[in-house]
Structure 1
Amino acid sequence: MFNAVPLMTIPFILYNMSMLGLMGGGGLPSLENDVIVLSMISGAMWSMSLGDLFIVVALAVLFFEILKATRSDGSLTNHMLSMLVFIAFLVEFLLVQDAATQVFFILMTIALIDVIGGFAVSIRTAGRDVSIGL
């Protein structure tokens, strides 16, 4: 049952929590706020903003979603739920003012790649499972 739940709900929920001001600090965090700042050996300062962190989390989740698509158990349910997550991203992007950002658009695109990639991997895997005996 848990395998059918799309992992792309994690970045979706995290973004909405930050948009609603539920991610600590009390106020509405900006996607440009730095969450990690490191001094590099070269002397340069490297920083990662909250929006960048959401994208990194979504890319890591996409990797695990593609791995899940290679298994045959419960994949149809996962594909349907992944499509619903993408639709939720799309509806929120179009209707919610705070979701009309580049970060949210990239997250929505990653969700679309999850849907298309999941179907492609499943179809490719199913094609290998079919054998016609002569």
Structure 2
Amino acid sequence: MVAAFPLMILPFILYNLVMLGALGGDGASTFAQVILSLSMLSGALWTLSLGDLFILIALALLFVEILKATRTGSGSLLNHMLSMLVFVAYLVEFLLVRGAATQIFFILMVIAFIDVVAGFAVSIRSAGRDVSIGL
């Protein structure tokens, strides 16, 4: 049952907690807060903001979700359905909540959409290989 848990809900929950100020800060402007700043050999200054970190975490979770999609079993269908519900939650919040109308949330929503599409595509592709027709 744990394998059916959609991991893309974690950035969704964390974003909402930060947006509401539950984790400290003043809401959506907290995502611009610089977490890491490095001076490059070229002399340029590279910065990593909290919003960038959210996107990196979501991409890592997307990788795990795609690996989970390669498994066949009873939990995989439930995982796909829950992933679709998570994407719908992203979409509804993006359209209806003022604090979610940001580039960071949009990118997180697109990552959730890619999770849904890739999960179904990988499952269909791997299920096609499992079918063998004997002559």
The verdict on a shared fold, with TM-score over 0.5 as the criterion, is yes
SS class of match (2:46): strand
1:3 aligns with 2:13: no
Distance 2:41 2:65 in 1: 35
Alignment match, 1:91: 92
User: Structure 2 length normalisation: TM-score?
Assistant: 0.93
SS class of match (1:31): helix
1:62 aligns with 2:62: yes
Alignment match, 1:120: 121
Please identify, of 34-43 and 113-122, the stretch whose mean Cα deviation from structure 2 is larger. Answer: 34-43
Distance 1:3 1:129 in 2: 21
The structure with the largest helix share of the pair is 2
User: Structure 1 length normalisation: TM-score?
Assistant: 0.94
Alignment match, 1:24: 24
Unaligned runs of 5+ in 1: none
SS class of match (2:30): coil
Cα RMSD for the two superposed structures: 1.1
Alignment match, 2:102: 101
Q: Deviations over 1:53-109 (max 9, x none)?
A: 111111111000000000012110000000000000000001100000011011000
Distance 1:43 1:32 in 2: 22
Distance 1:87 1:68 in 2: 20
Identity of aligned residues (%): 69
Counterpart amino acid of residue 17 in structure 1 = L
1:46 positional shift: 1.1
Alignment match, 2:81: 80
Q: Number of residue pairs matched? A: 133
SS class of match (1:30): helix
Distance 1:39 1:2 in 2: 41
SS class of match (1:71): coil
Q: Deviations over 1:9-62 (max 9, x none)?
A: 11101101110112235x335221111112223332211111111111111110
Give the 4+ runs in structure 1 shifted more than 6 A.
none
SS class of match (1:36): strand
SS class of match (2:6): coil
